[in-house]
Amino acid sequence: MPADVTVTALYAPASRPELLPKALNSGADVVLVDLEDAVLAGRKDFARTTALALLDELPDEPAVQIRVNHPRGEYGTRDLAALGEHPALSQGRIGLRIPKVTTPEDVDVALDILGVDDMESAPPMHCLLESAAGVENASVIARHPAVVGLALGEADLAAELSLEGEEAYTWIRSRIVVAAAGAGLPAPVMAVYTDLDDLAGLAKSCARGKALGMFGRSALHPKQLPTIKAAFAPTDDEVRRAREVVTAAAGGEADGTGALALPDGRFIDAPIIESARRTLQLAERLT
């Protein structure tokens, strides 16, 4: 598992500058500096100024993404125009989180406002799919050359589709997992869990998402981070099985089918071996 894989991502509203240092020191893998939903209309300009000031003194760690407003709106246009002039963007030191993406053209609009004229200089674009149209277009959005990740905006989806309960998201989550994998992108990070005091519910929800192929989760408060980290860490049994696979791979050679036989009769092939190696790397990182 790469060292930069995202397990925890913490939102911090840029309209509250006193929270940004706390977020940066929270232990989250990524800090999501929010200019959108967490910021009232009357505070948008102030939030943008605060975010730009943060970029002037950007730490090496953790990673930082800026969630801008929608690129087709007034505030998003201002956000992107300002960020396009900041050296942190051209240096590749930040990622952008684009909300309410419905088509790849939304990404193109954002890149045009940023002043990006070729994909090689495009910043990493993380697309939030928050509507039925966005979910339906997940595969084509994922294949846009500037897009490096997909995520769901489940609150907006719940409102649009009248979804209730955790199980209602099963098909939608699976859809973007497949879309991301088909485009060669990392597994999607789960959306926020809005009940800050229900850590047991958060853990259960993370387990559901992990079982569907999602990995990692965004958080609204630092107290959610340990629960998320524990939920996505490999279990003792997963680590044991991974060691068995890696040991067998190191000590034997694949047969003509490209598979290895374990002592208990199970057959493993190259993808299983690579997955086992990633499991051990992740376990080492999170323990």
More confident residue, 212 or 274: 212
Beta strands in 6-73 (DSSP E): 8-13, 30-34, 63-67
pLDDT value at position 253?
Answer: 53
- Domain locations along the chain: 8-232, 236-286
Please tell me the predicted confidence (pLDDT) of residue 34: 98
pLDDT at 148 over 50: yes
What span, in angstroms and rounded, lies between the C-alpha atoms of 232 and 278? 13
Per-residue pLDDT band at 273 (split at 50, 70, 90): confident
pLDDT band at residue 62, thresholds of 50, 70 and 90?
very high
Q: Extract the tokens encoding 201.
A: 């519910």
The mean pLDDT of 166-183, rounded to a whole number, is: 97
Binding site annotation covers 130?
Answer: yes
The three-state secondary structure class of 118 is: coil
Q: Which of 50-54, 125-129, 272-276 has the lowest mean pLDDT?
A: 272-276
Tell me the H-state helices in 44-163.
44-56, 74-84, 87-90, 104-114, 132-136, 138-142, 154-161
Predicted confidence (pLDDT) at residue 252 exceeds the cutoff of 80: no
Q: Structure tokens of 95?
A: 């990622």
Residue 156 known to bind ligand: yes
The pLDDT assigned to 239 comes to: 76
Q: Is the pLDDT of residue 68 over 60?
A: yes
Closest CA to 21 of 66, 68, 54: 54
Residue 69 or 240, more confident:
69
Position 261 confidence tier, pLDDT thresholds 50, 70, 90: low
For residues 148 and 185, is the Cβ–Cβ distance under 8 A?
yes
Checking if the pLDDT of 283 tops 80, the result is: no
pLDDT-based confidence at 161, cuts 50/70/90? very high
CA distance 136 to 144: 15
Q: Is 67 annotated as a binding residue?
A: yes
CA distance 23 to 115: 29
Mean pLDDT of 119-127: 93
What is the pLDDT at residue 265?
63
Kindly give the interhelix angle for 199-211 and 225-232, rounded to the nearest 10 degrees: 30
Return all residues near 8 (Cβ < 8 A) that are at least 6 apart.
27, 28, 29, 30, 216, 217, 219, 225, 228, 229
Q: Name the residue type at position 251.
A: G
Q: Report how far residue 124's alpha carbon sits from residue 286's, in angstroms, rounded to the nearest whole number.
A: 25
Distance separating alpha carbons of residues 252 and 232, to the nearest angstrom? 30
Name the CATH superfamily for 8-232: Phosphoenolpyruvate-binding domains (3.20.20.60)
Residue 118 scores a pLDDT above 70: yes
Q: Are 12 and 23 in contact (CB under 8 A)?
A: yes
More confident residue, 146 or 278: 146
**Segment (H or E) for 23:** helix 19-24
